[in-house]
Amino acid sequence: MMRVHRTKRRSVRTSRRFTAARVRFAASSGAILLFTASVTPSWAQQATGGAELPDAPLPQSSTAQAGAKTGHAMISGVVSDIRGGLVSGATITLTLRGRDVATGISAADGSFHFLALEAGTYSVVIASPGLETFLSPAIALKTDERFELPDVALPIASASETVNVVMTQAQVADEELKAETQQRVFGVFPNFYTSFLWNAAPLNPKQKLKLSLRTITDPVAFAGSAVVAGIETGRNTFPEWGQGADGYGKRIAAAYGDQVFGRLIGSALYPSLFRQDPRYFFMGPNHPMRERLKHALLNGIEARGDNGKWQPNYSHILGNASAGALSTVYHPASNSPQKLAGLNALVGVLGGSVQGLVREFVTSRVTHKVPPYANGKPVDRAVAATVAPPAPSEPSSVPASGTTAPAKP
């Protein structure tokens, strides 16, 4: 091409020839650069095995409504099921003061990320077919903070029709009992009879007996009897037993006997006969205070049946009455069996309500080794909205796979 040009323009001066050549060279260089830029993405995809690179987070538009800005904080986590299997395709929703601000889908490895967040108080809602919906506690996210949600393990939904059952109900209950018998207040005192999993599998008679035996053979049970016997000895309760080592021995045996018979009768025998669950089912802070108070106070007179329905707590009331009447056999005569049975039944009802309040609002905060998937009664989205007031901002959603970020408005 340059040869033709020189043929047609031989009369042009040498300086102009060089000038024209330089212009052509610059134009050719620009064309080469444009061509290189246009083919670089295809070459890069081939170098990475043909996989598409993920899109960068989409910042909010500068034309968004007043107050809507893009931050630099992040919330991430990993979703698994109760047996440790990673859950992909779970719907992850980020809420800010009760309003949805972003949504996404967990990746193949169960991970998810919410990027470009402003500081604020968020909650994460995780839902997956066949598994119970998870609502995280409030997350007070700071500016530029990278918050990682503790491992989320979703239990199998009790009423699910889409999950293939590979374990029997008794096997599921056994696994849940293993976790429950690790629960201790301050890491010391047993909290075996609190189920932090609301939809826990019902216990069969063998499992109810096993849980009772595990409780009365715990070292804390012996220590508690020793403390009670010491107090009774100091106050000279049941003076017929006298003082000294002999009197203390009788009192500690009687105190331990009260625990054994009360637990075996009220938490194993009668619950098996009436088909009731002897445990307290933790409701959790994601529900209104009034509902939690009612649930705790009814603990003395209401029990969950093995069929999942709530019913009068015959096991607890009759268990206390029977244990009281039986205690007259090995205690010095003071009250008649009938009177002591009635007194124990009344005390048991009142004590059950107090115990419910303690389990719901006090020991739940300081119990160690509670399974991460056990968060009380599941919350649907309607209830979640009533717990936190709605925010004035408009929600935005980002359908993504594994990585989520606020979308452009």
Task: Summarize pLDDT for 75-93 with one digit per residue, the tens.
Answer: 999 999 888 889 999 999 9
On whether both 190 and 63 belong to a single domain, the answer is no
In a domain, 316, yes or no: yes
How many domains is the chain built from? 3
pLDDT at 166: 54
Nearest Cα neighbor of 80 from 138, 136, 126 is 126
Whole domain around residue 256: which residue ranges?
A: 169-372
Mean pLDDT of 293-303: 95
Residues 198 and 151 occupy one common structural domain: no
What amino acid occupies position 378? P
- Which of 229, 228, 223 shows the shortest CA–CA distance to 244? 229
Check whether 280 has a pLDDT greater than 90. yes
218 and 347 together in one domain: yes
Pull the structure tokens for residue 65: 């409504």
Q: How confident is the model at residue 380 (pLDDT cuts 50, 70, 90)?
A: low
In this prediction, residue 158 carries a pLDDT of 65
Q: What integer is the mean pLDDT of 146-156?
A: 87
CA distance 50 to 46: 5
pLDDT tens column, 191-244: 999 999 999 999 999 999 999 999 999 999 999 999 999 999 999 988 999 999
| In 124-243, alpha helices (H) | 169-180, 205-216, 219-235
Q: What pLDDT was estimated at residue 49?
A: 38
Q: Say if 47 falls within a structural domain.
A: no
178 and 214 in one domain?
Answer: yes
pLDDT score of 58 more than 50? no
Residues 228, 295 within the same domain? yes
Look at residue 94 in the predicted model and tell me its pLDDT. Answer: 93
pLDDT greater than 70 at residue 6 = no
Both 213 and 279 in one domain: the answer is yes
Residue 319 belongs to a domain = yes
Instruction: Determine the average pLDDT of the residues in 329-350.
Output: 83
Same domain, 232 and 320: yes
Q: Which two tokens stand for residue 332?
A: 């010095």
- Is 182 in the same domain as 92? no
How far out from the chain centre does Cα 386 lie? 19
Measure the CA–CA gap between 7 and 44, rounded to whole angstroms: 43
The answer to the question of residue 379 being in a domain is: no
Least confident interval from 205-214, 313-322, 334-343: 334-343
